[in-house]
Amino acid sequence: MDNLSDTLKKLKITAVDRTEDSLEGCLDCLLQALAQNNMETSEKIQASGILQLFASLLTPQSSFKAKVANIIAEVAKNEFMRIPCVDAGLISPLVQLLNSKDQEVLLQTGRALGNICYDSHEGRSAVDQAGGAQIVIDHLRSLCSITDPANEKLLTVFCGMLMNYSNENDSLQAQLINMGVIPTLVKLLGIHCQNAALTEMCLVAFGNLAELESSKEQFASTNIAEELVKLFKKQIEHDKREMIFEVLAPLAENDAIKLQLVEAGLVECLLEIVQQKVDSDKEDDITELKTGSDLMVLLLLGDESMQKLFEGGKGSVFQRVLSWIPSNNHQLQLAGALAIANFARNDGNCIHMVDNGIVEKLMDLLDRHVEDGNVTVQHAALSALRNLAIPVINKAKMLSAGVTETVLKFLKSEMPPVQFKLLGTLRMLIDAQAEAAEQLGKNVKLVERLVEWCEAKDHAGVMGESNRLLSALIRHSKSKDVIKTIVQSGGIKHLVTMATSEHVIMQNEALVALALIAALELGTAEKDLESAKLVQILHRLLADERSAPEIKYNSMVLICALMGSESLHKEVQDLAFLDVVSKLRSHENKSVAQQASLTEQRLTVES
C-alpha cells in the first residue's frame, strides 16, 4: 500500500505531462492494487484527488482510455465511490467513449457506467443528461446478430448497464421503452438463447420492464411469448425456471399476451410441472408447483385464452384441471377451484359444467374443508359455485343437488372472505326461486347470522352482501313467514338503513323488500319501521334531487303501503309529504310522474 501512495503521487505528475510509459505503469499498478483490495485502494484513490484527472485521460485520443475506464469500473463497485465519480465529471467523457469502435473501450466504458448507475440516483441522472441510454440501445441493435463470444460479452455488459440505469425507476424504464428497447431485447433473447449470462441479463431486464403497464403493448407486439416458452422448455434448473416465471407472471396480466402464451404451448409446460412436482415434499418443488398452478389460473383470466382452453368442455387442459379438485394437495385443490371459477365466466360454459357434474365435485371439496378447513380453498370453491349459479337454468339444478345445504355448513366461519362468497352464492341461487328463498328465509340460524353480519362495519363487502341477501329472501319468497322471521331476528332496521346506501341497486332492493313487508306484514313490522325512522328517510329520498327515478318511484309506492298503519300514517301527515310529492308530478320520468299523481291522491284522501 506504501507502493500505492507512490504510484498515486507519480500518477498526478505523469497525468499532467503525459509521459506514456510511466503513465501506463501507474495505471497497471492501480489495477493490480484494486484486484488485491478493492475497497482500501478505492479509499486511497478518492483521498488522493486523482479522480478529477481521469476525465482528461478518457478523451478519444487517449491511448489509456480502456484502462482508465476499467479502473473507474472497479472503484465504482463501492457504493461510496459512485457520487465522487459523478462529481469528478467522469460521466460525460465516458458517454462520449460509447461512440468508439474499439470493443475493449466499449466493454470497459459499459462496465464503468453500469457500476456508477447501480443503486445511485446521481449516477443515473448524470448518464440520463449525457444521453447514454440511447447510444447503448443503438449498439444493442447493431450488434444484436453477431454471436461470437467477445460480442456476447459486450452485449451482456450493455444489458447490465441499462438494467442498473433503470432498475426500480419508472420514469427511466418508460424512457427505455419509448426508445424501443423491448423489441431489441426480445430479438437478443432469441438469437443468444445458448448464452446463459446474456439470457439471464435479458430476463432480469424483462422482469423490471414488465412491471410497467406501458411495456405490455410493446411486449405484445413481439414474439416474447414464443421465446420465453422455448427457453422455459429447455430449463431443468429450478432457479432458471423461477427467473422465467418472474417475467411470465407480470406479462400474463395482459390479455393479448395471455393468448400468445397459450398458443405458444405454455399451458402444456405448466401441466407437466404440476404432474412432476405434485407428490414431492422438496421446498423448491412445492414452490414451483404453486407458481405453475397460479400462472395457469392467471392465463384463464383472459376471455379468449380461457375459451380456447375450455374447447367446449372437451379440452384436455380443462379435463386435467378438473382432476386437480379431488386431489389431496391443497395448492392443486385451490388452483382447480379457481380455474373452474374462471371457466365459469359465461353462461354456455356454466351450463355445460353443471350438466357434467362439476357441482358435485366442488361440494365434495367443500365437505373436506368444513372442519378446520383451508380458507383459500373454501373461498375459491364458493367463488366457483357462485359463478355457476348465475345462469337461470342452473339454479334449480344446483338447488336440487343440495348446494345450499353444503354452503350453509360454512355459516359458522369467522373469515370475511368466506362469509362474503357464501352470501353471494346463496343470493345467486335464490334469484327468482320462490321455494328456495322461502326455505332459507325461515331458517332462523341463517337469518340471525345475516343480521349479525349486517353490522360488520370492518367488512363493507360482508355487510353489503348480508343486507342484499336479507332483501332477496323477502323479494323472491314474498312470504309472510320469511318476513316474520326477519322481524323477530331484528333485521328490519338494516333494510331501512340499506335504503340510504350509496349504491342505487341496493337502495332499490331495500325499498322493494320494505314495500312487500308493508303490504304483507305491516302490523308485525310496524314498531321496527317506526324506530328505524323509515318515514323520515323516505321524505329525504323524495326531497333529494340526486335520488334516481326508480328510488323516487319505489319510495312513493312504499309511502302508500305504509298508510295502513295508524302510527306511520300520522308520521307521514306530520312531515308534509304532499308538498314533496306534488312537485314530482312534473318529473321528466313518466313512471315517477304517474306514481306522484297516485300518491298525491292517496295522501289527500287519507288526510
Q: Tens digit of pLDDT for each residue in 324-335?
A: 999 999 999 999
Instruction: Kindly state whether residue 264 falls inside one of the protein's structural domains.
Output: no
Average pLDDT over residues 557-576: 90
Q: Tens digit of pLDDT for each residue in 101-135?
A: 999 999 999 999 999 999 999 999 999 999 999 99
Same domain as 540, residue 528: no
> Does pLDDT of 72 surpass 50?
yes
Same domain as 496, residue 447: yes
Count of structural domains within the chain: 4
Same domain as 16, residue 76: yes
Helical ranges in 411-503 per DSSP H: 416-430, 434-441, 444-453, 460-477, 480-488, 492-498
Q: How confident is the model at residue 221 (pLDDT cuts 50, 70, 90)?
A: very high
Q: Which amino acid is at 52?
A: Q
Same domain as 438, residue 525: yes
Instruction: Kindly state whether residue 380 falls inside one of the protein's structural domains.
Output: no
On whether the CB atoms of residues 258 and 305 are closer than 8 A, the answer is: yes
> Does pLDDT of 361 surpass 80?
yes
The pLDDT score that the predictor gives to residue 168 is: 86
Rounded CA gap, 46 and 77, in Å?
13
The pLDDT score that the predictor gives to residue 1 is: 46
On whether the CB atoms of residues 486 and 441 are closer than 8 A, the answer is: yes
Same domain as 159, residue 72: no
Listed ranges 318-322, 326-330, 424-428; the one with the highest mean pLDDT:
424-428
Same domain as 520, residue 568: no
User: Of 235, 251, 267, which marks where a domain is finished?
Assistant: 251
- Element holding 148 (H helix, E strand): none
Rounded CA gap, 170 and 388, in Å?
41
Instruction: Kindly state whether residue 352 falls inside one of the protein's structural domains.
Output: no
Q: Tens digit of pLDDT for each residue in 289-318?
A: 999 999 999 999 889 999 998 988 888 889
Same domain as 103, residue 15: yes
Same domain as 53, residue 172: no
Rounded CA gap, 245 and 205, in Å?
13
Same domain as 226, residue 108: no
Instruction: Kindly state whether residue 389 falls inside one of the protein's structural domains.
Output: no
Rounded CA gap, 473 and 24, in Å?
90
Same domain as 140, residue 247: yes
Rounded to 5 degrees, φ, ψ at 33 are -60, -40
- Element holding 431 (H helix, E strand): none
User: Of 234, 251, 268, which marks where a domain is finished?
Assistant: 251
pTM, rounded to two decimals: 0.81
Instruction: Kindly state whether residue 224 falls inside one of the protein's structural domains.
Output: yes
Kindly tell me the burial class for residue 505, based on how many C-beta atoms sit within 10 Å of its own C-beta (0-12, 13-18, 19 or more).
Answer: exposed
Q: Tens digit of pLDDT for each residue in 519-546?
A: 999 999 999 999 999 999 999 999 998 8
Share of the chain above pLDDT 70, in %: 98
The pLDDT score that the predictor gives to residue 343 is: 94
Instruction: Kindly state whether residue 346 falls inside one of the protein's structural domains.
Output: no
The pLDDT score that the predictor gives to residue 464 is: 95
The pLDDT score that the predictor gives to residue 240 is: 86
Same domain as 98, residue 19: yes
> Does pLDDT of 2 surpass 60?
no
Instruction: Kindly state whether residue 460 falls inside one of the protein's structural domains.
Output: yes
Instruction: Kindly state whether residue 442 falls inside one of the protein's structural domains.
Output: yes
Same domain as 194, residue 79: no
Q: What are all long-range contacts of 588-593, with beta carbons under 8 Å and residues at least 24 apart?
A: 589/549, 589/552, 589/553, 591/549, 591/553, 592/549, 592/552, 592/553, 592/556
User: Of 101, 130, 159, which marks where a domain is finished?
Assistant: 130
Q: How confident is the model at residue 11 (pLDDT cuts 50, 70, 90)?
A: confident
The pLDDT score that the predictor gives to residue 131 is: 95
For 571, the domain range is 536-606
Listed ranges 289-298, 354-363, 560-569; the one with the highest mean pLDDT:
354-363
Identify the CATH number of the domain in which residue 69 sits.
1.25.10.10
Q: How confident is the model at residue 373 (pLDDT cuts 50, 70, 90)?
A: confident
The pLDDT score that the predictor gives to residue 227 is: 94
Average pLDDT over residues 371-397: 94
